[in-house]
């Protein structure tokens, strides 16, 4: 509590307080929520990453180098998911067909009677009929 008051006083005075990141990580690891109440998180998951609830049954996060790659992969997947959600909203606003009906409609490509999406099937049938 006193630390928070000191930080507020320092911010009002225009001075930026120096806080050690290590002390924050240790405190977060001591009283942080875990994936299962009463579960003991592995030693390499110290609570410094967002969403770290100590769940790693395959021990994938034991290697700090691979943990960086996994973190970046999660960020990339999240960005793609946000872009997909924006695309869904865009199609609704513009009035395009619903995304869940994308494969339900049969659309003809090319000249009439050329088949919905498999023109090679019509060509193959024509070759068999003449040959």
Annotated binding site: 74, 79
Instruction: Please state the residue numbers annotated as binding site for chlorophyll a.
Output: 74
Read off φ and ψ for residue 97, nearest 5 degrees: -60, 155
Q: Is 84 exposed, middle or buried (0-12, 13-18, 19+ CB in 10 A)?
A: exposed
Q: How many CB atoms lie within 10 A of CB 45?
A: 19
Instruction: Please state the residue numbers annotated as binding site for chlorophyll b.
Output: 79
DSSP string computed for 57-107: TT-GGGSHHHHHHHHHHHHHHHHHHHHHHHHHHHHHHHTPPPGGGTTTS--
């Amino acid at each position: 509590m006193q630390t928070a008051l000191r930080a507020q006083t320092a911010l009002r005075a225009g001075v930026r307080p120096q806080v050690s990141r290590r002390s924050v990580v240790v405190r977060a690891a001591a009283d942080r929520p875990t994936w299962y109440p009463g579960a003991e998180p592995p030693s390499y998951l110290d609570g410094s990453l967002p969403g770290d609830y100590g769940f790693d049954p395959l021990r994938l996060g034991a290697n700090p180098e691979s943990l960086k790659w996994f973190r970046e992969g999660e960020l990339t997947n999240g960005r793609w998911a946000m872009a997909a959600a924006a695309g869904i909203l865009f199609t609704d606003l513009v009035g395009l067909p619903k995304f869940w009906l994308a494969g339900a409609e049969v659309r003809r490509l090319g000249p009439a009677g050329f088949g919905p999406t498999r023109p090679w099937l019509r060509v193959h049938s024509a070759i068999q009929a003449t040959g």
